[in-house]
Amino acid sequence: MSHIRGRLNKAVDKLVNKYTASIPFDWRLYQHDIAGSIAHAKMLARQGIIAPKEAESIVSGLKAIKDEIEQGKFQFKPELEDIHLNIEAGLMDKIGEAGGKLHTARSRNDQVALDLRMWAKEAIAETRNKLRGLQRALLDLAEANKEVAMPGYTHLQPAQPVLLAHHLLAYFEMLQRDIDRFGDCLKRTDVMPLGSGALAGVGYNIDREFLAGELGFSEISQNSLDAISDRDFVIEYEAAASLGMMHLSRLAEEIILWSSAEFNFIELDDAYATTSSIMPQKKNPDVAELVRGKTGRLYGHLTAMLTTMKALPLAYNRDMQEDKEGFFDSADTLLATLEVVTGIIKTIRVKKENMKQATQRGYLLATDLADYLVGKGEPFRSAHNIMGKLVSYAVQRGKALNELSLAEYKQFSPLFGEDAKSITTETSIAARDNTGGTAPKQVNKALARARKIVSGGS
Amino acid sequence: MSHIRGRLNKAVDKLVNKYTASIPFDWRLYQHDIAGSIAHAKMLARQGIIAPKEAESIVSGLKAIKDEIEQGKFQFKPELEDIHLNIEAGLMDKIGEAGGKLHTARSRNDQVALDLRMWAKEAIAETRNKLRGLQRALLDLAEANKEVAMPGYTHLQPAQPVLLAHHLLAYFEMLQRDIDRFGDCLKRTDVMPLGSGALAGVGYNIDREFLAGELGFSEISQNSLDAISDRDFVIEYEAAASLGMMHLSRLAEEIILWSSAEFNFIELDDAYATTSSIMPQKKNPDVAELVRGKTGRLYGHLTAMLTTMKALPLAYNRDMQEDKEGFFDSADTLLATLEVVTGIIKTIRVKKENMKQATQRGYLLATDLADYLVGKGEPFRSAHNIMGKLVSYAVQRGKALNELSLAEYKQFSPLFGEDAKSITTETSIAARDNTGGTAPKQVNKALARARKIVSGGS
Amino acid sequence: MSHIRGRLNKAVDKLVNKYTASIPFDWRLYQHDIAGSIAHAKMLARQGIIAPKEAESIVSGLKAIKDEIEQGKFQFKPELEDIHLNIEAGLMDKIGEAGGKLHTARSRNDQVALDLRMWAKEAIAETRNKLRGLQRALLDLAEANKEVAMPGYTHLQPAQPVLLAHHLLAYFEMLQRDIDRFGDCLKRTDVMPLGSGALAGVGYNIDREFLAGELGFSEISQNSLDAISDRDFVIEYEAAASLGMMHLSRLAEEIILWSSAEFNFIELDDAYATTSSIMPQKKNPDVAELVRGKTGRLYGHLTAMLTTMKALPLAYNRDMQEDKEGFFDSADTLLATLEVVTGIIKTIRVKKENMKQATQRGYLLATDLADYLVGKGEPFRSAHNIMGKLVSYAVQRGKALNELSLAEYKQFSPLFGEDAKSITTETSIAARDNTGGTAPKQVNKALARARKIVSGGS
Amino acid sequence: MSHIRGRLNKAVDKLVNKYTASIPFDWRLYQHDIAGSIAHAKMLARQGIIAPKEAESIVSGLKAIKDEIEQGKFQFKPELEDIHLNIEAGLMDKIGEAGGKLHTARSRNDQVALDLRMWAKEAIAETRNKLRGLQRALLDLAEANKEVAMPGYTHLQPAQPVLLAHHLLAYFEMLQRDIDRFGDCLKRTDVMPLGSGALAGVGYNIDREFLAGELGFSEISQNSLDAISDRDFVIEYEAAASLGMMHLSRLAEEIILWSSAEFNFIELDDAYATTSSIMPQKKNPDVAELVRGKTGRLYGHLTAMLTTMKALPLAYNRDMQEDKEGFFDSADTLLATLEVVTGIIKTIRVKKENMKQATQRGYLLATDLADYLVGKGEPFRSAHNIMGKLVSYAVQRGKALNELSLAEYKQFSPLFGEDAKSITTETSIAARDNTGGTAPKQVNKALARARKIVSGGS
């Protein structure tokens, strides 16, 4: 703390002030800081630690400051270092000596822990909402394209035909885990630290449950040393956000691939594409590329905060001031990314015919033909070998499987009959008829389940 | 897959085989692979997909292989690439053609997802147990030193006196969050993926609920594409492990500091210390240093897996084989670390007298004296200023606060009276008497609560 | 150090021994440790610190141990913790009391620093060789396909036509930077630390320059505290390896894309591809996928070591034992990756016709047409606008640019003349005729320059 | 690119514009962008691609824009997305149609690569200067305290006595490696990419050597695809910065430890310390803590950029826009950190007496006594054992080594004579008299060498 100089006899060096000041980023906590201070002042009065008049004066002073901030009239001073001291100094300017009583039974250590938890709770709620919004967009797109078939890929090679809706629902599942994960993170964030003081608790008869109630917390912290040195909730958010962003990077990669001239499965809306400063023909999926690129950013913030917290002795150390910028940026980036990806999904044009044609490439039905042989009594492992040879034969002749004659099939196994030729993309898809499979029946069930999830709660 | 060559006409290059083989590390999944295959064979028979005799033969073959592995008699072959093919090939050697039917309605993609989830569930359970074990050791140490006072630190500067038990319970709280976090991770791990096939589901009338029941899973996966391309549970474990290791690195740092000649608060048991190859006098806290050092390792594994999964298109890609080594090492390292830290805590010798003496350093009671002035009507902010000047005065004279006369106190504020001199480490500690504070009453409550937690469930 | 117990009165706990032992991985330093010890013994004798006979006995004992290790006869003992003590104990067994004199004027702290630097120097040399090898393979492939045109991409959208050789040479450049970077890393690795003792230097009249000469080092370290606590060279290798692996991940991504059914630009040799356990038709680029996937691994090791070294006070701390496993694995992985990628490049089949056809897609010549208008006096920015509209017109009609009539062109600008229709892939490529451009003339120059680099030195 | 819409028929979505705009951070490149454009315009005129008048008009327009920006009068427009388009649009407003000719023979892809390399070159130069500045401060402090002895530590346990100057010079060495490393990074940064066009080179008769000369580059890039997709120089800076920050985190850790009440080796100047909002006695080393904490930030940026670049196909992808913010912040943070650490070192107060007293703790002379026995003919390994027992004996009796009688010494080895008692901190330090050792003679040589380095070049 540079402003309050306590026992120190010299002003802080200017460079030092700049180096240590957090006001350039922690001003974002002003609402939470003020709400926390109002609750604290009320509590102090209820407990007889300050006079009711003093509390009233503090509360109205703080409300006035909030208005000033929101109207852009409040003057933040870097030499006052952080949001807490800026507001406290503003309060003393406004209401005089009573303002000096607000910091009774409180330290910046528990104050900042409170503010950041309040901010985190809101960020979690908003993140879960936007995850839900993207789920909705994916579900809408899936429902609108229920019948569309496409190649399923493994190793980016055509593997087996699937429904596009099934593919989209895979992302629905990922996002559902994200929603649940942020929900779990919330449990450990929703703990009220005020009353922990600098590190040891406070020497006043305070009422922590009242504070928790006023501020909408479910629990109060159980150990003051831990409460002021715990930033698990920041790291846990950043880890969940990294996972979520990883999911979005996979979707972005597919949007980029599918928009390529070679795949040509989708077309982005012009409002979600950009062109080039030099190449007039370009329609680039920049937004999806940035989604993919910004994944590094979130991983970086996670790495940063884990590194910062490593091996810090108890309790508060100034290193922990590094908790905010990366956290804010992780949340900002994830939220903005969810919004733009939702926008892309809502406006994407699916080129059904191209997807369908692509299912003709790559011998997608080979597994079904192996299964066909299994149905005729061949063990799967040898059926697989037979089909391997059959595909190799077709590749060498540059033919698709359905361009081979039954006689050619029979060269590889006498078990092949006419009905082998009736295996199609449609029968292949329909055959995968167990929970989680791509058969239309299963996909319809999954769509209904997903609709229920997005309509009700998580 | 290098062994099964399908349509390929050439053996895989030797370097490639070495590069792609996972058997050097995935042999650890043998139990899970065999258990999964046994359940699968039973299910195939129940559903009439293979004959009961065939299933019996498969099951007994697999059990025999398990015995061979455990007796060190099973020959793992690198050219068979992974644990799945090694066991399948072993089975075919042992029971012939029926062995070739085991892979019906299954792919290595869902098989490996199953195996790894089973392994992860065990790792989670063991991790939670060992976290509990360390909680117990900390609690025992705290209870055995209930009355010991020490300086509480912020910024590694003496701040306010606290009870050692209070300090130890801060770690109890961190570990409790770890236990809860791994519990949440378990929910998303405990999902049975078998039946997802290569990516699209399988074209057989299988019974996935039966499989889940046999294998002790709570849920089955809902989307085949997601099920085979999801490694969230690995990353989530690694993230939780990184957080847990971060907590242990903080404890390790304190063990190192407290063992130093300068702090001299504790002495490690000789069984947990080492000496030097050249300096005969050394007693080094190597174990604690390695705990701190290995934190990097876990962060690294987390970074690695997040990076690997970034921007992979659906569904399975071979990149995902990188999921195992880091995961195994994260779990191994965390478990071993928890064991050795528990050992350190169980055998540590607390130097109570040195801790107590240290509370005399550093003007630890200044906050209490400021609070004293607040009690006499001074606003906190000005009381803080007064004490700042008083401490500065004492520092310049090289005196402790209790070495100043009342007259000297009064130079700084007329509110000081005789009773100011009765403020001691003990009264300071006792004053912090709210939930989470360091007062003996609160610490006793916290110890009782902690004892209940380690005795009951989490 | 667990074996030498110095002042400690108790054996080290077994778990602790396992936790702290490095012999499971540092055995790899045996050659370097022995070479270092031989040089040290010779130096001690030259300086009269030990008797010549003793030195001879030590040297022949160490050579015998080396032979035993290489013949698999040497018994490594985990309770002896590390490679240094295993060898020292083996020496004392073999030659008796004289063996106890080897550790004169030396500490494990400078000994391990020496060993690891020697290992690192070899790793760097091998890495540079293998980078060169891949450069050669790329160059051979480029020369063999000098005339092949393909679409150049930005944003994975067709941008402008380029020569395949030009594209391949881009990777040549990246690898050249890698070679240079490892060369720079070598300068800071090639510094001899022996003689730094435990931390302060040694109290004997040693000859450090002699040691450097014997062991092939260019310089000796200048500060003992730094020399034993410096692991920059490990981190610098890992950073350079991460960059190199990033380059390889880009190449791997392109191999995967180009092998896809949709791009279909190349075919991997069967020896470098794998198939599926279930889908018989698959030919998967698993090796390239693993190259991409293992990138995470190297990033992870870099993160780990940076984290481990953060905030360690001087001088040696046991945390630093974590320097080896990640380093060894980074080098092993990078070397193996370079080998397999070289193998892929050497055996790849280029599908020239498909590449050529692809240059017809995507209005690749639009920039050239804009440049054409610039040649006729239109400012570039408005020429770009004109071409944007022209492409949009063509897209809406589903036509390629060369399918439009001159009249249609002229609707957009009167400057278009017949000669606009003579712009082709070939003229477009030939036009980019400045250093670094894709014109055949430039590419030929670049190929010649590259050939000279791989033939001479770097 | 959102502003130039080329073939696209819809304005970009507002969210998308916000998501993709880089002007909030890339405005910092305005000087470099303008300098690059001026050189480009001159070159275009020299080559006859534009008229001399046009070039003059462009140059004076750009200079006017630069002035406007520096006077805060230039209106940056987010809808113009980036610094390049903002300036280009400003130019067209100012000089009309001729402005549209500036982008001839250039793409934003090579333009941004140029700008960022110019920025990087300046950042490297400034970083090296500030590293030198800190070296100077360390050297001044070392010279001013040449004779001060202190305990050298390993494992944070007292190990052997050293000179403070020797300890400080260890950091000098680290910083020297940093300076060299940034110098190597510079070589790969100092390469002029303009003329690479969008990806393939440009179809105009440009003069790249002229551009390099105008802009102060040593080399021109050799491959256009590489030149526009290479961000190695960013990553290499971030890696070097991470290493440098790691060094500073070690120094910061020692500043924190040495400022603690327990070590009490130094006192920070009041201008470099802060106090507490609640504890009036506190003098906290916040600056050093932030140095340590911000290390995570730099590691995070490195992780981020490595992740972002992973597996990007050639050539430019929008992901690469993520290259700037982390890079800028890494440089800003490192530079600011170097400044504040230099300030700390310049104003630190060394408590020589406390350091000296500390050398009496912890049996620091045990190695010297073992070396004494070696001098009398005892092999080192057994001398070490003898001293281990002697120290253990002393510890049990609570005595320092010099408090034991010669008779007691002789119980452990008959080789001890009176002269053993003349071993002191001073003789121990003086004995370590080889290059890199802590003997005053060596330290004086090292100080002279260091002074020469900071006076001349590196």
Cα separation, D94 vs D102, in Å, equals: 13
Secondary structure (3-state) at D423 = coil
Residue D262 contacts B, CB cutoff 8 Å: yes
Query: What pLDDT does residue A35 have?
Result: 98
In this complex, which chains have at least 3 CB pairs below 8 Å with chain B?
A, C, D
Query: What pLDDT does residue A245 have?
Result: 98
Please tell me whether residues D304 and D418 are part of one structural domain: no
Q: Is C368 exposed, middle or buried (0-12, 13-18, 19+ CB in 10 A)?
A: buried
CA C425 to chain D, closest CA, distance in angstroms equals: 12
Which among C15, A140, A164, D1 is positioned nearest to B346, based on CA atoms? C15
Question: Can you tell me which residue has the tokens 């071409």?
Answer: C387
Residue of C nearest to B317 (CA): C289
Alpha helices in C47-100 (DSSP H): 52-70, 83-95
Any residues with CB less than 8 A from the CB of D56 and at least 6 apart, and which? none
Any residues with CB less than 8 A from the CB of A339 and at least 6 apart, and which? A130, A133, D15, D19
- Here the CATH number for the domain that contains residue C209 is 1.20.200.10
Cα separation, B19 vs C300, in Å, equals: 19
Cα separation, C174 vs C172, in Å, equals: 6
Identify whether the C-beta of residue B146 lies closer than 8 Å to the C-beta of residue B450. no
Q: Between chains, do B222 and A310 touch, taking CB under 8 Å as contact?
A: no
For residue D381, tell me if it sits in a domain: yes
Identify whether the C-beta of residue A304 lies closer than 8 Å to the C-beta of residue A271. no
Q: Which of D314, D372, D401 to mutate to test the interface with C (most CBs of C within 10 A)?
A: D314
Question: Can you tell me which residue has the tokens 């700390």?
Answer: D344
Please tell me whether residues D229 and D209 are part of one structural domain: yes
Beta strand ranges found along D166-278 (DSSP E): 191-192, 219-220, 266-267
For residue C8, tell me if it sits in a domain: no
Q: Between chains, do B156 and D259 touch, taking CB under 8 Å as contact?
A: yes
With residue B157 as reference, give the H or E element that holds it.
Answer: strand B157-163
Count of beta carbons in the 10 Å neighbourhood of residue D389: 16
Q: Which residues of C touch D310 (CB under 8 A)?
A: 246, 249-250, 292, 295-296, 299
Query: What pLDDT does residue B1 have?
Result: 43
Count of beta carbons in the 10 Å neighbourhood of residue C63: 12
Beta strand ranges found along C254-400 (DSSP E): 266-267, 349-350
DSSP secondary structure string, C144-211?
HTTT-EEEEEETTEEEEEEEHHHHHHHHHHHHHHHHHHHHHHHHHH-EE-TT-TTTT--SS---HHHH
The last residue of a domain, from among D51, D77, D104: D104
The tokens for B129 are 């147990």
Residue A141 contacts D, CB cutoff 8 Å: no
Cα separation, B161 vs A203, in Å, equals: 12
Give backbone dihedrals phi and psi of A98, rounded to 5 degrees, phi first: -60, -30
Residue B274 contacts C, CB cutoff 8 Å: yes
Q: Is the pLDDT of residue D278 over 80?
A: no
Tell me which residue in C20, C198, C296 faces B279 most closely, judged by beta carbons. C198
Identify whether the C-beta of residue B163 lies closer than 8 Å to the C-beta of residue B232. no
The pLDDT of A431-452, averaged and rounded, is 98
Cα separation, D76 vs D85, in Å, equals: 10
Which of A130-144, A231-245, A393-407, C47-61 comes out lowest in average pLDDT?
A: A393-407
Cα separation, C137 vs C116, in Å, equals: 31
Q: Which residues of C touch B284 (CB under 8 A)?
A: 1, 318
For residue D27, tell me if it sits in a domain: yes
For residue B5, tell me if it sits in a domain: no
Q: Which residues of C are catalytic?
A: 155, 276
Catalytic residue among B60, B218, B260, B276: B276
- Under DSSP, the state recorded for D361 is S
Residue A21 belongs to domain spanning: 14-104
Please tell me whether residues A436 and A334 are part of one structural domain: no
The tokens for D102 are 């500036």
Residue of A nearest to D278 (CA): A107
Q: Is the pLDDT of residue D191 over 80?
A: yes
| Helix B208-215 vs helix B30-46: crossing angle, to nearest 10 | 140
Which among D209, D137, D204 is positioned nearest to D169, based on CA atoms? D137
The pLDDT profile of chain C, 458 residues, written as one tens digit per residue, is 445 677 788 888 889 999 999 999 999 999 999 999 999 999 999 999 999 999 999 999 999 999 999 999 999 998 899 999 999 999 999 999 889 899 999 999 999 999 999 999 999 999 999 999 999 999 999 999 999 999 999 999 999 999 999 999 999 999 999 999 999 999 999 999 999 999 999 999 999 999 999 999 999 999 999 999 999 999 999 999 999 999 999 999 999 999 999 999 999 999 999 887 778 888 999 999 999 999 999 999 999 999 999 999 999 999 999 999 999 999 999 999 999 999 999 999 999 999 999 998 778 999 999 999 999 999 988 999 999 999 989 988 988 888 899 999 999 999 999 999 899 999 999 999 999 999 999 999 999 999 999 998 54
For residue A397, tell me if it sits in a domain: yes
Cα separation, C356 vs A194, in Å, equals: 69
Please tell me whether residues A170 and A263 are part of one structural domain: yes
CA D251 to chain B, closest CA, distance in angstroms equals: 15
Which among D343, D191, D154 is positioned nearest to D255, based on CA atoms? D343
Query: What pLDDT does residue D3 have?
Result: 58
Beta bridge partners of C220: C192
Query: What pLDDT does residue C3 have?
Result: 57
Q: Between chains, do A4 and D308 touch, taking CB under 8 Å as contact?
A: no
| Number of domains present in the structure of chain A | 3
Query: What pLDDT does residue B121 have?
Result: 98
For residue D389, tell me if it sits in a domain: yes
Q: Which residues of C touch A366 (CB under 8 A)?
A: 279-281
Residue D161 contacts B, CB cutoff 8 Å: no
Identify whether the C-beta of residue B265 lies closer than 8 Å to the C-beta of residue B150. yes
Cα separation, C106 vs C203, in Å, equals: 10
Kindly report the pTM of this predicted structure: 0.97
Give backbone dihedrals phi and psi of A220, rounded to 5 degrees, phi first: -110, 150
pLDDT-based confidence at residue D360 (cuts at 50, 70, 90): confident
Q: Between chains, do A155 and C282 touch, taking CB under 8 Å as contact?
A: yes
Give backbone dihedrals phi and psi of C104, rounded to 5 degrees, phi first: -65, 140
CA–CA distance from B371 to each of A196, B390, B425, B427 (Å)? 15, 14, 14, 12
Residues of chain B with pLDDT under 70: 1-4, 457-458
Q: Between chains, do D432 and C203 touch, taking CB under 8 Å as contact?
A: yes
| Helix B232-259 vs helix B108-144: crossing angle, to nearest 10 | 30
Catalytic residue among A60, A218, A260, A276: A276
Whether A392 is catalytic: no
Residue C101 contacts D, CB cutoff 8 Å: yes
Whether D155 is catalytic: yes
Please tell me whether residues C216 and C303 are part of one structural domain: yes
The tokens for B154 are 């912020």
The tokens for B447 are 């110890």
Residue type, D326: G
For residue C429, tell me if it sits in a domain: yes
Strands C191-192 and C219-220: parallel
Please tell me whether residues C258 and C137 are part of one structural domain: yes
Which among D184, D151, D110 is positioned nearest to D257, based on CA atoms? D151
In this complex, which chains have at least 3 CB pairs below 8 Å with chain A?
B, C, D
CA D283 to chain B, closest CA, distance in angstroms equals: 8
With residue B371 as reference, give the H or E element that holds it.
Answer: helix B366-375
Which among C406, C453, C455, C456 is positioned nearest to C178, based on CA atoms? C453
Residue C311 contacts B, CB cutoff 8 Å: no
Over the Cα atoms of chain A, what is R_g? 30
Please tell me whether residues A155 and A171 are part of one structural domain: yes
Residue A254 contacts B, CB cutoff 8 Å: yes
In this complex, which chains have at least 3 CB pairs below 8 Å with chain C?
A, B, D
Residue B152 contacts A, CB cutoff 8 Å: yes
Residue of B nearest to C275 (CA): B1
- Here the CATH number for the domain that contains residue A55 is 1.10.275.10
Please tell me whether residues C48 and C171 are part of one structural domain: no
Residue B381 contacts A, CB cutoff 8 Å: yes
Give backbone dihedrals phi and psi of D426, rounded to 5 degrees, phi first: -65, -45
Question: Can you tell me which residue has the tokens 């450090």?
Answer: C208
Residue of C nearest to A305 (CA): C307
For residue B206, tell me if it sits in a domain: yes
Over the Cα atoms of chain D, what is R_g? 30
Residue type, B431: A
CA D368 to chain C, closest CA, distance in angstroms equals: 8
Q: Which of C102, C243, C274, C342 to mutate to test the interface with B (most CBs of B within 10 A)?
A: C274
End-to-end CA distance of chain C, in Å? 43
CA D304 to chain C, closest CA, distance in angstroms equals: 10
Residue C358 contacts A, CB cutoff 8 Å: yes
Four-CA torsion D12, D15, D18, D19, nearest 10 degrees = -100
- Here the CATH number for the domain that contains residue C407 is 1.10.40.30
Q: Which residues of C227-251 are buried (b: 16+ CB within 10 A; e: fewer)?
A: bbbbbbbbbbbbbbbbbbbbbbbbb
Query: What pLDDT does residue B457 have?
Result: 52
Which of B268-272, D179-183, D277-281 comes out lowest in average pLDDT?
A: D277-281
With residue D427 as reference, give the H or E element that holds it.
Answer: helix D425-431
The tokens for C420 are 């606009």
Please tell me whether residues A365 and A350 are part of one structural domain: no
The last residue of a domain, from among A357, A375, A397: A357
Please tell me whether residues C185 and C294 are part of one structural domain: yes
Which among D52, D217, D211 is positioned nearest to C434, based on CA atoms? D211
Residue D89 contacts C, CB cutoff 8 Å: no
Please tell me whether residues D55 and D182 are part of one structural domain: no
Q: Between chains, do A12 and D274 touch, taking CB under 8 Å as contact?
A: yes
Q: Which residues of A touch B433 (CB under 8 A)?
A: 201, 203
Tell me which residue in C11, C282, C304 faces B6 most closely, judged by beta carbons. C282
Cα separation, D222 vs D218, in Å, equals: 13
Q: Determine the distance from the C-alpha atom of residue A356 to the mean position of all C-alpha atoms in its chain, rounded to a whole number.
A: 33
Residue B184 contacts C, CB cutoff 8 Å: no
Query: What pLDDT does residue D457 have?
Result: 52
Q: Which residues of A touch D295 (CB under 8 A)?
A: 307-308
The last residue of a domain, from among D323, D357, D391: D357
Please tell me whether residues D136 and D211 are part of one structural domain: yes
Query: What pLDDT does residue C457 have?
Result: 52
CA C26 to chain B, closest CA, distance in angstroms equals: 16
The tokens for D279 are 């504890």
Alpha helices in D47-82 (DSSP H): 52-70
Q: Between chains, do B279 and D367 touch, taking CB under 8 Å as contact?
A: yes
Tell me which residue in A279, A284, A299 faces D318 most closely, judged by beta carbons. A284
Cα separation, D3 vs D22, in Å, equals: 13
